[in-house]
Structure 1
Amino acid sequence: MNLKFHKKKITGILTVLPENEVNFDDEIDNYDFSRGQSMKLKLIMGYGKRRVVKEGTTASDLCIFGLNYLFDNNFLKKDEIDAIILVTQSPDHFVPATSHIIQGKLDLKQDMVCLDINQACSGYPIGLNQAFMLLDQEEINKVVVLNADTMSYKVSHKDRGSRPLTGDAASITIVENDSSDSVIYGSVYVDGKGADALIIPAGGFRIPSTAKTAKLETDESGNSRALDHLVMKGDDVFNFVQKEVPPMVDNLLVKADKHKDDIDYYMFHQPNKFMLKKLADKMGIPYDKMPNNVVENFGNASGVSIPTAITHNIGDKLMEGTLLLFLAGFGAGLSWASLLMKMGNLDFCNTIEFKN
């Protein structure tokens, strides 16, 4: 589905990373794999350092910390916020919505919209799409899009396919109406037939967590995990991305009457370095236009990897000028979504550390 928005803009992006850092080299012995094979995978996939929360820290903690930073530094005022959209697949509780918890703990006004969206890797553009729609309402002038996940809790320490990649993070994006006649192009796709390619089988109402679902089982590849853990069918996800993302990009470029070379940066979800390089190769996009360095420095925090890539790689440029960006997320669902938009002259575009 193609989307189009007029007179909307992003005025600031903040990434919040846990201060707790884990190094892949320190976890090699957890996996049923030789050290030599592990080091080869490190080079290919981009394993390195990742940021993970300490026990007891949740998505709302990261978001509240980041919002307080913005309040304290006069980048945002509480009474300006007309809506909060939280995109997460690791909520604080099943009930109530985590966005309500954030609103209450920050003592924000009652006359506002609070909305949780259950999306993962494509969650950043989907959350922004929702924000642009809300801004069409006369009484909504500023929307705060929160994207946060703490999926490290749900990855087995003996799963070499997922654990070395998984990080935790949050992002805060401020979205407002634009007085200039700006145009933003978007697209959203879903294929629920592939839902089991990325799934946590137990813990919901279909399969409640029990002692049995917590028991580790070893698969044919030597990964040990329980039904309570994230399961990723790596080959299925890779093939899905290579098949569906390039035509999505081509379609949106046509809709916007743009050529690939017109785009300053392709800020894509960061599953791993190998997948992004293959994607860039297939689409004929130079590596320097599609950064792939988030996983090796911070880990893959699902949809938050897109704003992390932005603040880490081009934050200064977006505060000093304007760039034409292509944003794309793809993964769990299966879901893939994109945005093509001009972004720049931001009030802030940086990364901070969550300390607890």
Structure 2
Amino acid sequence: MKLTFKGKRISGLLTVVPRHEQSFVEDMKQFNFPEARSRKLMEVMGYDKHRLVADGVCVSDLAVAGLQHLFDKGALGRDDFDALILVTQTPDHPMPPTSNVIQGRLQLKDDLFCLDINQGCAGFVVGLMQAFLLLEQPAIRKVVLVNADVVSRKTSPKDRNSYPLIGDAASITVVERGDSAGAIHANIKMDGTRREALMIPAGGMRLPHSEQTAVLEDVGDNNLRAQDHLRMDGSAVFNFVQVEVPPMVTSLLEQAGIDADAVDWFLFHQPNRFMLQKLADKIGIPHDKVPMNVVEKYGNSSGVTIPMAIVENLKNELVARSFQVCLAGFGVGLTWGSMLMRLGELQFCEMLEY
């Protein structure tokens, strides 16, 4: 599906990361696996450190801390926005919606459209699409998009395939109308027939949590996890990304009528460095236009890796000037989407530790 938006812009961006930092060397102590092979994995995939929330910390905690920080410094008024979108796979509760939890904890106005979206790796792109659509309504002047996940709480520390790359984080993006903003081009695709490539099998109504679903099992190669934990078919995900994402990005550029050389930055979801290098090669774009340093510093925080890449690499430049950027998210669902837009001259672009 191809989409076009006009007169919309991102005006501010904040990321929130837990203070607790854990190294891959620490993770290795929990694996029943030769240290030499683990270090080889670390080198190839770009693992080093990741940020993990403390026990009991939820998505609303990260979001409330970030929004309160913006209120306190005067970067965002409590009544300035008319919609609050939360994109997450790890809500505080099955019900009520966590966006309502955030609204209630901050005592925001009741004339506020609150919406939860259950999306993962493509969640930032999907959330921006929804924010732009809401801004078509005259009553909505500004939208706050929160993208947050605490997937580490649903990942087995003894699963070498998943745990070392997982990170927790949140992003808060302010989206508003911009008369001088150029056209924003986007596309999105989904394929639920491949949904089991990335899944947490238990905990929902299909397979409720129980003592049995919490039992750790050897799932091969001495990796231990329960049905309550994240399950990832690494080969299936890698093949999906290499096959589906390059034509998606190429189609987006054709839709906008520009060449890849005209794009300053390709800001992609970051599963790991190896996958991004192969993806850049497949598309035919130089590695220095594709930031790949988020996973090694903070971990894979699902869709939040895109705003993390923006803040980590461009926070100083984006306050002063703008760039032509291509965003792309791909993963859980399976879902893959991309967006081409002008990004910059932001009112704020920073990172907050929680």
TM-score (norm 2): 0.99
Match of 1:168 in 2: 168
1:257 CA drift (Å): 0.5
CA deviations 1:174-203 (Å, max 9, x no partner) are 000011152100111000000000000001
Match of 2:240 in 1: 240
In 1, distance between residues paired with 2:246 and 2:263? Answer: 15
1:29 CA drift (Å): 2.0
In 1, distance between residues paired with 2:56 and 2:33? Answer: 30
CA deviations 1:14-70 (Å, max 9, x no partner) are 000000111110121211211000000000001111000001110000000000110
SS at match of 1:152: helix
Structure 1 unaligned regions, length at least 5: none
1:326 CA drift (Å): 0.2
Verify: 1:144 aligned to 2:166, yes or no. no
SS at match of 1:325: strand
Instruction: Kindly report the root-mean-square deviation, in angstroms, between the aligned alpha carbons of the 2 structures.
Output: 0.7
SS at match of 1:336: strand
1:334 CA drift (Å): 0.2
In 1, distance between residues paired with 2:38 and 2:142? Answer: 46
Q: Matches of residues 80-91 of structure 1 in structure 2 within 5 Å?
A: 80-91=80-91
Q: Matches of residues 1-356 of structure 1 in structure 2 within 5 Å?
A: 1-354=1-354
CA deviations 1:226-245 (Å, max 9, x no partner) are 00000000000000000000
SS at match of 2:165: coil
SS at match of 1:27: helix
CA deviations 1:98-139 (Å, max 9, x no partner) are 000101111111112100000000000000000000000011
In 1, distance between residues paired with 2:56 and 2:31? Answer: 25
SS at match of 2:163: coil
SS at match of 1:78: coil
1:85 CA drift (Å): 0.3
Asked whether the 8 Å contact 2:181–2:342 carries over to 1, the reply is no
In 2, distance between residues paired with 1:181 and 1:273? Answer: 32
1:284 CA drift (Å): 1.3
1:315 CA drift (Å): 1.1
Letter of the 1:144 counterpart? V
Percent identity among equivalent residues? 53
TM-score (norm 1): 0.99
In 1, distance between residues paired with 2:36 and 2:180? Answer: 56
In 2, distance between residues paired with 1:304 and 1:237? Answer: 18
Letter of the 2:102 counterpart? I
Letter of the 2:80 counterpart? E
1:259 CA drift (Å): 0.3
In 2, distance between residues paired with 1:47 and 1:138? Answer: 46
CA deviations 1:120-176 (Å, max 9, x no partner) are 000000000000000000110100000000000011011000000000000000000
Letter of the 1:264 counterpart? D
Letter of the 2:351 counterpart? T
Asked whether the 8 Å contact 2:9–2:181 carries over to 1, the reply is no
In 1, distance between residues paired with 2:291 and 2:181? Answer: 29
In 2, distance between residues paired with 1:197 and 1:128? Answer: 25
Letter of the 2:253 counterpart? L
1:222 CA drift (Å): 2.0
Letter of the 1:165 counterpart? L
Letter of the 1:305 counterpart? T
In 1, distance between residues paired with 2:296 and 2:181? Answer: 39
Which is worse superposed, 325-334 or 173-182? 173-182
SS at match of 1:55: coil
1:320 CA drift (Å): 1.1
Letter of the 1:124 counterpart? F
In 1, distance between residues paired with 2:226 and 2:233? Answer: 15
Structure 2 unaligned regions, length at least 5: none
CA deviations 1:70-121 (Å, max 9, x no partner) are 0011100011110000000000000000000101111111112100000000
Distance 1:102 1:270, change over 3 A: same
